[in-house]
Amino acid sequence: MTYELEPEQPLDAEVRRIATELIDHAVAQIDGTKTASHEAIHHDVHHEAVHEVRKDCKKLRGLLRLVRPAVPKLYTHENAAFRDAAASLSVLRDAEAAIETFDALIDHFRDNIDADSLAPLRQRLEDHKAQVAASAEALDEQLEGARTTLVAARERVPGWELPAEVTDPADDPGDDAGWSLIGPGLRKTYKRGRQAMQAAYAQPSVAAFHEWRKRAKYLRYQVRLLRASWPRVLKATYKETKQLGDLLGDDHDLAVLEQVIEEAEALSLTDDAEQILLALAAQRSEQLRNAAYWLGSRLYAEKPKRLDRRLQCYWQVARGSDAKLPARR
């Protein structure tokens, strides 16, 4: 499975290919859970499937956002399907992410705290996760529901009506090598990410940084989709967008941890250990947001039109088209 558009191939066919491969991969992950018999293996396989299916759905939504301006009705319908498929698995993922975030937080501050004193809190988070999971049968039902949604979407992909690009430049001297199908979507994603970053630091909040995180993640996916147009340059850009997404993702996970602590029946927010953990989370969040600011300032330094023009040139060169390239001097 290659999450990259091949410049040499028709863009509409490439969009369908990538969507099909992602759906097939997600369905295969779900089907793989049905062969796990041992309880421990069954548990691990199910949780890995949840992670992979959610990730594939996010990639699918990033792909759809790339073509959104060209096919708004298609985007609205299919994006909702993949969003709902992932959302059905989010509650369990939040409970699992809370434990992973707890471990990362303790490890980060290990030299400055008594980690053993917080161990009982981790066990209570484990107990909460077990309660959320309820049973393997409940998780099986959630995965089967997601599978049904994905299989139905898979059957629709061949019928996706996408604008066909001009294959012979002689037929259209203004041909942009198919960029009109994907360029406006990229520019919109980048512009919204830029605006979300400004809003997050103007009035910091969990919701504002979560919004920026989503926009940054879609930019990351779209840069990867375009990476084949100039691998050396866009691979480096992709790595930076991934790092930004990781910083913002870690910050969001801290908010999820706090939310789980507030909602979990076994946790009361009265223990000293809980108060210490929340203080550590606040300190770590400030560190992550500071790091994200400097990286984001570089990634969003260009104005949207300039970024669009630059990546369009990469794309046209990769396609062997120079219809709109700057004149040589």
Q: pLDDT by residue (tens digit) across 233-275?
A: 999 999 999 999 999 999 999 999 988 887 765 555 557 888 8
74-78 mean pLDDT = 96
Tell me if 245 sits within 8 A of 213, measured CB to CB.
yes
Class level of CATH domain 11-163+177-319: mainly alpha
- First-residue to last-residue Cα distance in the chain: 41
What mean pLDDT comes out for the span 323-327?
A: 52
In this prediction, residue 142 has a pLDDT band, given cuts at 50, 70 and 90, of confident
Query: What is the 8-class DSSP label of residue 226?
Result: T
**Separation CA 82–CA 153 (nearest Å):** 8
pLDDT (0 to 100) of residue 75: 96
Domain spans in the chain, listed from the N-terminal domain onward: 11-163+177-319
187 has a pLDDT exceeding 60: yes
The two tokens of residue 310 are 């630059």
162 contacts: CB under 8 Å, gap ≥ 6: 11, 12, 15, 16, 67, 70, 71, 74, 181
- What is the dihedral sign for C-alpha 274, 89, 80, 21? positive
Identity of residue 110: R
Q: For position 295, what pLDDT does the model report?
A: 98
Coil, helix or strand for 69? Answer: coil
Q: Which residue type sits at 46? A: H
303/306 Cα distance (integer angstroms): 5
Q: What is the rounded CA–CA span in Å between residue 147 and residue 150?
A: 5
* Confidence (pLDDT) at 138: 73
Six-digit token string for 83 = 């969003």
Provide the CB-side half-sphere exposure for 106 (13 A, CA). Answer: 18
pLDDT band at residue 323 using 50, 70 and 90 as cut-offs:
low
What pLDDT, on a 0 to 100 scale, did the predictor assign at position 174?
Answer: 47
Model confidence at 173, in pLDDT bands (50, 70, 90)? very low
Tell me how far apart the alpha carbons of residues 97 and 89 are, in angstroms, rounded to a whole number.
12
CB atoms within 10 A of CB 232: 7
Give the pLDDT confidence score for residue 4 in this predicted structure: 96
Specify the pLDDT at position 267: 57
Per-chain mean pLDDT for the chain: 87
The more confidently predicted of residues 112 and 137 is 112
pLDDT level of residue 172 (50, 70, 90 thresholds): very low
Quote the pTM value.
Answer: 0.88
Q: For 280-299, how does the pLDDT look when each residue is reduced to its tens digit (9 = 90+)?
A: 999 999 999 999 999 999 99
Confidence of residue 121 (pLDDT cuts 50, 70, 90): confident
Residue owning tokens 């096919």: 71
- One-letter amino acid for residue 192 of the chain: R
Helices (H) and strands (E) in the chain, counts: 11, 0
Q: Please say whether the beta carbons of 16 and 160 come within 8 A.
A: yes
Average pLDDT value for residue range 162-172: 56
Instruction: Take residue 236 and report the two structure tokens written for it.
Output: 């480096």
DSSP class of residue 269 equals S
Q: What is the mean pLDDT of residues 208-228?
A: 97
More confident residue, 45 or 112: 112
**How far is C-alpha 236 from the chain's CA centre?**
18
